[in-house]
Chain A
Amino acid sequence: MSDNTIIRFENVTKSYDAETTVLKNINLELERGKFYTLLGPSGCGKTTILRLIAGFMQPTSGSIYFNGKLINNVPANERQVNTVFQDYALFPHLNVFENVAFGLRIKKLGKKVIEQKVIEALKFVNLVGYEKREIAEMSGGQRQRVAIARAIVNDPEIILLDEPLSALDLKLRSEMQYELRELQQRLGKTFIFVTHDQEEALAMSDEIFVLNEGEIEQSGTPMDIYDEPINRYVADFIGESNIVSGTMVADFRVKIGDKEFECVDQGLNPNEKVDIVIRPEDLEITAVDKGKMKVKVDTQLFRGVHYELSTYDDEGNEWLVHSTKKADVGASIGLDFDPEAIHVMRLNETEEEFDKRLESYGEDAYAN
């Protein structure tokens, strides 16, 4: 644990009732001033983790530390944390200005200071001029932005954002993504951001936690997670990918179906069964005889930046291809890719073992 750790979860579990455990043994460590994202499907426990950090409830077992101090029993109003709630939770009896000013009024700041801070926060979320509006008179996206303003205006150590951009249109959403990221860097605060949009997670985060049914499947930088997913679940969740079963024939040789390919993975048992990921953008269309693989084009969609082809090989595996080149539907084409494009995943590998294995590659690289 470094001095820079602001939040630490130690074997945290949470169950709402006797039968179901919503969080199963969560361990994590968050550093001050970074942008973290909790990514996972609906119901996996993202909001529950935020509620534990905010202090709206206590873990069933395990410990939560804030700046090295155990805070399991510190009530929410004494924690230096502010939340942007998934359902906004704005006060309907107060107007926009008073909603944003709520925390400042509790702190009994002066009238001038409050006014200046509120206006500044509203400026950030593009809502200047809406001060006197009632909450009922605001659109969903505007409410979401009031909620963001209400949290940042208090200048807390940690800001928790529970899907704060989900109600915004695409343009405003990417604008706010930039601005939130920029704000986080300017303030140097710790942001914990919840989303189930993997593109948003990849674009904004310093570090991503991929959750599945109350467990952390993998954590790491967006690059780590995108390029080196630990298993089928992460690979599938973090972006469109081709995931097929295969066998590790020897170091640097992997077999898919009855074809062998060169790869960069080593140190696995001979003939070990593995999952293999190849990202659609790593596949390149070639002439049939030039490619490493021969496939038949099933459908083709124009996606703006690229074409998305759904193709099948002779064994019936589907291969998604993102290409700027067009192909004919029904035609046979070749697919080419680099050895680095193949990512081999061991079955049932824990994150620890996975990290160790990746590290050993690095050491070998030096040794060679």
Chain B
Amino acid sequence: MEKTSKSAKFYLALVFIVLYTPILYLIFYSFNSGGNMNNFESFTWEHYSAVFSDTRLIMILLNTVIVALLSALIATIVGVFGSIGIVFMRNKSLRRSILSLNNVLIVSPDVVIGASFLILFTAIGVKLGFASVLISHIAFSIPIVVLMVLPKLQDMNSTLIDAAADLGASKRDILTRVIIPFVKPGIFAGFFMALTYSLDDFAVTFFVTGNGFSTLSVEIYSMARTGITLTINALSGIIFIVTLVLVVGYYFVSQRGKNPVGMGVRK
């Protein structure tokens, strides 16, 4: 590590400063009793208590988390089985087309996805609200899960499946005892990616939400439009901390997958 040159270190520091300054600036002023972001008067928790005493905001926070967890969970299940289906697909050209469609969904802009869902939901008469948000979050999360799981599956030597069958494993045993454990790191990665995508999605949700149902990012957007209050800062600060915790959690989970400890003889 000592080999890293001074200029490289400087560059790296600069990048991090640029990336993190706005966030830290925002969090810093969330403790300002002055009520604006121009001069710092004195330290206060009042904006945070404002967040927690605002039951509407708490409800929205809960909505956001529930949508994120549910959509990530469902997308992970669908995505894992989808990937398995893709890998074992006999027809090579069909497999390639499905993969391309999957990648198109990942790169296509959220606005397009959001608008198409809005059109779809109004056309078939789905009421905008929790269900429409959940469905669209599941939909844009599935390709992400596939993207994380598929490479692990492709890494898996197909003779492993032969070996399991050879030892008497049924299709179900093969799935639960060989395939799923083998791709577990990919499944975790996919779940966490889906979770974060859902948590911070704005564009898609903005299109398909309605009937008073709202998520944090949409809510913050409308709060910011009606005038800046430091409550937004406090809320953003909380989200930032939660994200940080998630990332650290993900790090530990993936570390454990790489360096197996406690995978000894199963009791």
Question: Residues of A with Cβ closer than 8 Å to B?
Answer: 51, 54-56, 75-77, 81-83, 85, 87, 89-95, 97-98, 102-103, 105-107, 131-132, 134, 150, 154
Contacts and interface: CB of A to CB of B under 8 A. Distances in A.
B41 interface: no
What DSSP secondary structure best describes chain B's contact surface? helix
A92 B157 CA distance: 10
B169 A106 contact: yes
Given A98-B265, A98-B266, A134-B260, A93 B182 contact: yes
A132 B263 CA distance: 9
Given A76-B162, A89-B163, A106 B266 contact: no
A77 B165 contact: yes
B168 A77 contact: yes
Contact of A77 (B169, B178, B264): B169
B119 interface: no
Interface of B: 157, 159-160, 162-170, 173, 177-178, 181-182, 184, 260, 263-266
A131 B263 CA distance: 12
B162 A54 contact: yes
Contact of B159 (A82, A87, A98, A132): A87
Nearest to B260: A134
A326 to B, nearest CB: 50
A308 to B, nearest CB: 40
Contact of A106 (B167, B182, B263): B167
A98 B264 CA distance: 9
Given A103-B167, A154-B167, A85 B265 contact: no
A91 B163 contact: yes
A56 B159 CA distance: 9
B164 to A, nearest CB: 7
Contacts of B260: 134
A95 B265 contact: yes
B244 to A, nearest CB: 30
A245 B260 CA distance: 63
Contacts of A76: 162, 165-166
Contacts of B263: 93-95, 134
A54 B166 contact: yes
Contact of B167 (A56, A82, A95, A131): A82
Contacts of A82: 166-167
B42 to A, nearest CB: 56
Given A87-B157, A106-B173, A77 B166 contact: yes
**Residue from A54, A93, A103 having most chain B Cβ neighbours under 10 A:** A93
A132 B169 contact: no
Nearest to A136: B260
B149 to A, nearest CB: 15
A89 B169 contact: no
B159 A93 contact: no
Contacts of A91: 160, 163-164, 178, 182
B264 to A, nearest CB: 5
8 contacts: A56-B165, A83-B162, A85-B159, A87-B159, A90-B163, A92-B182, A98-B266, A102-B177
B265 A150 contact: no
A81 B163 CA distance: 11
A132 B265 contact: yes
